[in-house]
Structure 1
Amino acid sequence: MPLYKTITVNPATKVFIWKIEESFEALSKGTDLTSNCSNRVANMKSELHRRGFMSIRHLLALEGYTDHDLRYDENGKPHLTDGKNISITHSFNFSAIIVSDVEVGIDIEKQRNKILKIAHKFTPIEEYRTIANEDAMMRKLTIVWCAKESLYKSFAEKGVSFLEHIYVEDFALDESKTTAAVTYEDKQQKYDVDFLEFEGFTCAYALISEK
């Protein structure tokens, strides 16, 4: 079972990361899906997406949940039937969930240079032009993207813009954490963000700040 990493963030919050090495058939064995999710998988054209979807169900099982304990609201945000908060992500051959008593968000992305070309769409790029090393800039921008995606998933309001409404406090690559905030209409929410890098991927997860 390729459980890649477990992170106990605090007594009420855990992160589980899966390295997807199995076939879709192997991941499907013994996994009971709702009829809705069965239809979703059947209509997925990408084998990677199908395997990622099924690996999430194995991560749920680690915390004692099944596909029947998961529901989605009108904004597409996942919820657990026992009232706990959950966020889900998968990218290529990695997937992850975070489960907590508080609002949370998580994202995994593969580190790729193409992020340098689209950075202006999600963050004020002038903040990062002082980084001389292109690889370091790519890594930092990927962390910023993951952090913003995590906040976007947690905040879950239609109309939120990565560029205009989500701010990530500057950080050093070796710090592994930062703070961030969403300011949208008459609502502001602050978050604590942790991040890690592994095998050419970046993962960031955000929890509502208690400060």
Structure 2
Amino acid sequence: MPLVHSENIAEVGRLLVWQLVETEEVLRKMLPSSADFEELSSISHPQKKREWMAGRIVLAQIVAEAGEVFKGTWKDEHGKPFLIDCPYPISLTHTHDYVAAVIHPTLSVGIDMEQKNDKLIRTARKYLNESELFEAKNSLSKLCMYWCGKEALYKLNGRNNVSFKDNIFVEIFNENSNLLQGTWRDSGREVRASLQVRWFGTYCLIVAV
């Protein structure tokens, strides 16, 4: 798994992006012993298996870079992942070609990665409000940034039963920007976060912190 990008996020956080090129057999040999093999056995789709295994390998790497030991993960009632015996917040994303993870010692984080695809146009009304639709103007780059930004905010806050269209917002931005601002509003709560944008070819990656 070639490392294609690494950087510090929010001063002391860490972001790693790996390109997924290995076969399932190779990935199995690389898996940390603390990975949840029972969860792995429940995945039947070959590509999903590769993505899951690559995600645990990347998590083990980024946790080691933070000076901790990767002992696996657990999920709360909303499905948000946490590290076992480590208080550092994490977030993970995987696509067909890339796997990325972010960790921070004190701040909640969220990450998402998506490839520019026509499906973003077909589904835009499901995740954008009217003003965001007007701003996007069917630009695949902007639609991809909106989607990744909202998904990253969703993962940062870690709550189910939330509408991307009605509860999660991204402020007006230029498609060449590498820093956006987003807000989550739900049940009287408001969470604001910076959205850091990185592009890898046709893939958009956004970290919310």
Shared fold, TM over 0.5: yes
**1:61 deviation in Å?**
2.5
For 2:58, the aligned partner's letter is L
In structure 1, what is the Cα distance between the partners aligned to 2:128 and 2:176? Answer: 20
The match for 1:167 is 169
What is the TM-score with the length of structure 1 in the denominator? 0.88
Match of 1:91 in 2: 95
Q: Over residues 75-123 of structure 1, what are the superposed CA-to-partner deviations in whole Å (9 max), with x where a residue is unaligned?
A: 1111123100000110111111110120010001111011101101100
**What RMSD over aligned residues (CA atoms) do the two structures have, in Å?**
1.9
Unaligned runs of 5+ in 2: none
SS state of the match for residue 56, structure 2? helix
- 1:127 CA drift (Å): 3.7
Residue deviations 1:44-76, cap 9 Å, x none? Answer: 222221111111122123231666232211111
Q: Report the secondary structure of 2:165's partner residue.
A: helix
Give the SS at the match of 1:68: coil
Q: Percent identical across equivalent pairs?
A: 25
Partner of 1:68 in structure 2?
Answer: 71
Deviations 1:101-157 (A, max 9, x none): 20010001111011101101100255444666x5xx011011100000011111112
CA distance in 2: counterparts of 1:121 and 1:85, whole angstroms = 29
Q: Which one is further off, 79-88 or 4-13?
A: 4-13
> Given the two structures, how large is their TM-score scaled by the length of structure 2?
0.89
Is the CA contact (8 Å cut-off) linking 1:165 and 1:183 kept in structure 2? yes
- 147, 150, 154: which one aligns with 1:148: 150
**Aligned: 1:24 with 2:24:** yes
For each residue in 1:158-195, what CA deviation from the matched residue of structure 2 results, as whole angstroms up to 9, or x when unmatched? Answer: 22110000010011111111101000012111000011
| Paired positions, count | 203
SS in 2 for 1:49: helix
| Separation of aligned partners in 1, 2:18 and 2:38 | 23
Q: Quickly say closer, same or farther: Cα 1:184–1:67, change in 2 above 3 A.
A: same
The alignment partner of 1:120 has SS state of helix
| Residue in 2 that maps onto 1:186 | 188
Q: Confirm or deny: 8 A CA contact 1:111 1:139 kept in the other structure.
A: yes
Q: What is residue 6 of structure 2 aligned with on the other side? A: 6
Q: Which moved more, 1:53-62 or 1:177-186?
A: 53-62
Partners of 1:76 and 1:131 in 2: how far apart?
30
Contact 1:194 1:205 in 2 (8 A): yes
1:33 deviation in Å? 4.5
Distance 1:174 1:130 in 2: 14
SS at match of 1:153: helix
Q: 1:33, 1:144 → 2: CA distance?
A: 37
Structure 1 unaligned regions, length at least 5? none
